Amino acid sequence: MEIANKFQIDEAIEYPSADISFQWASNKDAELKIHMHFSRVVDGPSNDLELLFYRPIAVQWEEESFGLIKTPSVIPKCSNGRFELWSYPLLTIEPSQWANLYAANMYSEEDFKKHHVVHYLFVSMNDLVHVLSEEPPIAKWVVSADA
């Protein structure tokens, strides 16, 4: 059974994200930049979170209402009392069928048993972004350009 866990990169994250933007730079050292728009949440933080993945394996965006990639039925909630009914915005899925499917095609049978492909799920009020990566993202707070 798959379980959604909080991917806690900063204890200050206790709010939902309003939207998610992302940019894929396809080249030899491919980069995926995800922009979590926290600043668009009324009474939320004034900054946004930028996550940078180097050479991710896969990315999938979808509107939050679809949920085409299987996710657990129970998702952790935000800790801020005002937003406690909203999904926590940064998650990992373990064990992930999607990650295992990719890893099975990337590794030998023996290496598959100890693969490090992680299924990250980023949730906003309007979007879902799934990422598979062997390396965690580099995260930093950035000033919002459009809140």
Q: Which helix (H) or strand (E) holds 24?
A: strand 19-25
Given a cut of 80, whether residue 87 has pLDDT beyond it is yes
* Dihedral class, residue 43 (left if φ above 0, else alpha if ψ from -120 to 50, else beta): left
Mean of pLDDT over the chain: 92
pLDDT tens digits, one per residue of 8-23? 998 889 999 999 999 9
Residue 104 structural domain: 3-143
**What are 22-79's pLDDT values in tens digits?**
999 888 889 999 999 999 999 888 999 999 999 999 999 998 766 778 889 999 999 9
Antiparallel, parallel or unpaired: β 127-133 and 118-123:
antiparallel
Q: How many CB atoms lie within 10 A of CB 37?
A: 22
* pLDDT of the residue at 147: 55
How are beta strands 90-94 and 3-6 bridged, if at all? antiparallel
CA–CA distance, 12 with 63 (Å, rounded to integer): 26
Predicted confidence band at 145 (pLDDT cuts at 50, 70, 90)?
confident
Q: What total number of domains does the chain contain?
A: 1
CA distance 143 to 147: 9
